[in-house]
Structures are given as C-alpha cells and as structure tokens.
C-alpha cells in the first residue's frame, strides 16, 4: 500500500487525468442509466423488451463507431480527442433530457452515451496508463479504475435525488452541464506528455486498420481474452439494467436494495487497489484466469436465496470481480500484445465488450417478457460465466511480451 501511495504522489497528474476519464464515464454506464428506465418506460409507454431492444441497437451502433475511432488515441492529440468526447457525451445527456419529446431522441442519446461514456472515456484512460507505465502498470490501472467505484458511489445518489425532486429531464441536463464544465477545464491542462508517448506515428489508413483487426481476430489469444470480458459485460449489464425491476418482482425494499449498492461500490474500490498491486506482483495472466469466479458464486446466491440479503452477497462478490477486472483486462492485453498499438488493439476488445452490453438487456428482457423466472434466468447466466472463465484459464499458457518501455517511469 505504501508503494501505491508513493507511486500516486509521484505521478498524480497523469494518473489523476486518467482517473477523471473513468469517473466521468459513469454518465454513460448502465448503473446510472438504469435510474432513468422506470420513468422512460412510463413516459414512452414501452415494454421492457422493447426498451431493451432500443438500448441494444444503440449500443451495437456505438460499438461499431468505437471500432472506427478508438485508434485515434494512438496518433491524435489527447487534448483534442478528450474534449470532443466530453462535449459529445454532454450533448447526449441533453438529448436524453428531451427524449420524452420523441423516441428518435432516445436513440441518439443512448448511442452517444454508450459510445462516449462507456466506450471512449474508459478507452482513453486505460490506454494512456498502459502506454505510460510498464513495471508499475498494475498500480496505474488500478488507480484509474477507482474512478468507476467513486462514480458508482456518488452519481446514483445525486442523480436519483435530482430525479425524485425535479424529474429525469433536470438530472440529464445537469449531467450535461457538468461535462461541459470539465471539458472547459481540460483546455487548461498540459497533456503534451501523453502525445510524446505515442509510438504509432505512421499515417492512418483504413486498409492498415482492417489488416490489424483481421490479424487479431485470427489469433487464438484474442478469443481467450475476449470471452470472459464478453461474459462480464453481458451479465453485469443485464442484471444492473433490470436490477430495480428484479427487486420489485422479488418484493424487496427498493431503498434497502439501493443502500446495498454502496457495499458493491466499496468492495469494488478496495479490490481495484488490491488488483493493481497483485498485477504488478504476480502478473495479469494469473489473475485473469480466476477473476470471474467470485461473481459466479454471487449469481448462485442471487438465483436461489429469496431473502434480500442474497442480493447483498451478490453485490459484494460482484464488486470483487468488477474491481479486479478494471485492472486486469487492460493489463493482460498489454502483457500479451505489447503497447505499441495499444489504442488500436484495445478498441477491438472494447467493441466486443460494448457489444456484449447491448446483448445483455436485449436477451434478458426477452426472457423476462416470455415469463422465464428470475431464478432460472440468473442460473443460466451463472453457467455462461463459468464456461467463459474456464476458457480464460488458457491464458496461463500464453507467454508475456517483453518490450523496452519508451517512457521513463518515475
């Protein structure tokens, strides 16, 4: 822990910037957007499956766009890219606020929120830290991932309070204003060090980009790494998207359930820190082979325990997996592929991750509308997650790439 604190003090500016990216990504994450679901279902008169379909289509579109722009962090000025992403995310919040006017505005809002929030802001933060650090990469990534935990602890409380007091429109517009203010603040930051760390200086071409993606997909390592990430995105998004619907069907107290989410955020926060230390000590590949097992056990509690405390156990165990995932998913990509084309390579993995978050609400919403029980649905998700984790164990046979880091670490 002392090493982590010393590292943070010595690198507070670059790490703090990356942390702000994951923190602000909360405006496009499912845990926050789920707060708008009950009101949007009522206002737009939509069934859960219909709403899940809209969310899925928008997320798929976002994932495709992500694939075409994620590479920009490898060769474009970081300040310019970050500013554009923040302003686009702010505009998406405004569209969400006015989505009651017409359903087409909801499509635009969700596409922008998923692309710029969950997709690009997260991508920027983790890519920069992977490229900046080698020996201390785990620490840098763990501190960056703490933005998720803090956002999950803070944003739901603030946004739900605004929704209850002033309505969802006010909450969405306030979110957009916060993002605009931060985008203005970015203009006064010195981010040139990030630009100097770019090692991919070749001129961009769509042909070369397509060749890189084709090469990656044909590589067996890709499917070993992408399977648990896909499973985690699919399952966590589906559950958190419909979490309040599940709570109502179970007859659980919604305020009590919401308070349990704090335990999830705290657990994720602590394991994000521990995960970074463990990555530097043991290597990302060892953790990657086992990080989904805690959440898998939690799914069994959620499926078979009728008391609301089954949900508490699930949230705590999910916090363990999600906390470690924030660090290990990016670190293992860097260990296996190197960092020379980190933005381009990570954008492909991010595309599949974003795509998985589209399929989760869509398929689970369809199952629920067809009358499949809550317990059976969760158990099916448990089986899926265990199979994905067993496949991930194959990463232990993949050697680590040894490279000379182009950046001098502090």
| CATH number, domain containing residue 102 | 1.20.1250.20
Looking at the domain assignment, is residue 202 inside a domain? Answer: no
pLDDT, residue 69, reads 84
pLDDT in tens, the chain (410 residues): 677 788 888 888 989 999 999 999 999 988 888 888 888 888 888 877 788 788 888 888 988 888 888 878 877 888 999 999 999 999 999 999 998 888 899 999 999 999 999 889 998 998 888 888 877 888 888 899 888 878 888 898 899 899 888 988 999 999 999 999 999 999 999 888 777 766 555 555 566 667 767 777 777 888 888 888 889 989 988 888 777 777 777 788 877 887 887 888 888 888 888 888 888 888 888 888 889 999 999 999 988 888 888 889 999 999 999 888 878 888 888 888 877 677 777 778 877 877 887 788 778 877 877 888 878 888 999 999 999 989 888 888 877 766 544 444 43
Looking at the domain assignment, is residue 60 inside a domain? Answer: yes
Looking at the domain assignment, is residue 28 inside a domain? Answer: yes
Question: Residue 62 sits in which domain range?
Answer: 9-195+220-397
pLDDT, residue 406, reads 42
Looking at the domain assignment, is residue 181 inside a domain? Answer: yes
Task: Retrieve residue 207's tokens.
Answer: 């042909």
Looking at the domain assignment, is residue 404 inside a domain? Answer: no
> What pTM did the predictor assign?
0.77
Cα-based distances in Å from 189 to 82, 83, 100, 122, 254? 11, 11, 37, 19, 41
pLDDT, residue 188, reads 92
- Contacting residues for 268 by C-beta, under 8 A, at least 6 apart: 148, 149, 152, 319, 320, 322, 323, 326
Looking at the domain assignment, is residue 207 inside a domain? Answer: no
pLDDT, residue 409, reads 43
Looking at the domain assignment, is residue 402 inside a domain? Answer: no
Looking at the domain assignment, is residue 126 inside a domain? Answer: yes
d(CA 198, CA 80): 15
pLDDT, residue 199, reads 57
Q: For residue 384, count CB atoms less than 10 angstroms from its CB and return exposed for 0-12, middle for 13-18, buried for 19 or more.
A: middle
d(CA 28, CA 45): 23
How many domains does the structure of the chain reveal?
Answer: 1
SS (HEC) of 253-304: CHHHHHHHHHHHHHHHHHHHHHHHHHHHHHCHHHHHCCCCHHHHHHHHHHHH
pLDDT, residue 187, reads 93
Task: Retrieve residue 238's tokens.
Answer: 């589906």
């Amino acid at each position: 822990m002392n090493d982590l604190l010393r590292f943070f003090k010595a690198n507070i500016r670059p790490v703090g910037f990356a942390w702000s990216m994951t923190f602000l990504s909360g405006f496009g994450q499912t845990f926050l957007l789920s707060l708008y679901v009950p009101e949007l279902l009522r206002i737009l008169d939509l069934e859960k499956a219909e709403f899940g379909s809209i969310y899925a289509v928008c997320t798929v579109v976002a994932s495709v766009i992500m694939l075409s722009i994620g590479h920009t962090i490898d060769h474009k000025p970081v300040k310019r890219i970050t500013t554009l992403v923040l302003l686009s995310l702010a505009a998406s919040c405004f569209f969400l606020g006015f989505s009651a006017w017409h359903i087409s505005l909801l499509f635009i809002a969700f596409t922008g929120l998923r692309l710029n929030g969950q997709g690009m802001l997260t991508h920027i933060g983790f890519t920069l830290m992977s490229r900046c650090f080698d020996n201390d990469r785990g620490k840098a990534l763990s501190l960056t991932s703490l933005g998720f935990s803090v956002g999950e602890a803070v944003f739901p409380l603030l946004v739900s309070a605004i929704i209850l007091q002033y309505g969802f429109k006010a909450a969405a517009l306030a979110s957009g204003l916060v993002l605009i203010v931060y985008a203005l603040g970015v203009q006064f930051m010195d981010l040139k060090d990030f630009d100097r760390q770019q090692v991919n200086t070749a001129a961009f071409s769509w042909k070369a980009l397509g060749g890189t993606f084709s090469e990656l997909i044909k590589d067996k390592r890709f499917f070993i790494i992408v399977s648990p990430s896909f499973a985690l995105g699919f399952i966590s998004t589906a559950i958190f998207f419909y979490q309040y619907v599940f709570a109502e069907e179970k007859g659980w107290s919604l305020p009590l359930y919401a308070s349990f989410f704090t335990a999830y955020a705290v657990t994720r926060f602590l394991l994000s820190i521990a995960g970074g230390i463990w990555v530097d000590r043991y290597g990302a590949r060892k953790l990657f082979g086992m990080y989904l097992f805690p959440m898998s056990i939690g799914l069994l509690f959620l499926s078979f325990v009728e008391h609301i405390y089954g949900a508490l156990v699930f949230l705590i165990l999910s916090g363990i997996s999600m906390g470690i995932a924030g660090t290990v998913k990016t670190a293992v990509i860097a260990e296996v592929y190197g960092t020379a084309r980190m933005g381009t390579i990570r954008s492909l993995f991010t595309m599949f991750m974003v795509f998985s978050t589209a399929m989760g609400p869509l398929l689970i919403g369809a199952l629920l509308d067809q009358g499949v029980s809550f317990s059976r649905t969760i158990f099916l998700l448990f089986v899926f997650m265990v199979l994905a984790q067993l496949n991930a164990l194959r990463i232990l046979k993949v050697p680590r790439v040894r490279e000379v880091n182009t950046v001098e670490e502090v």
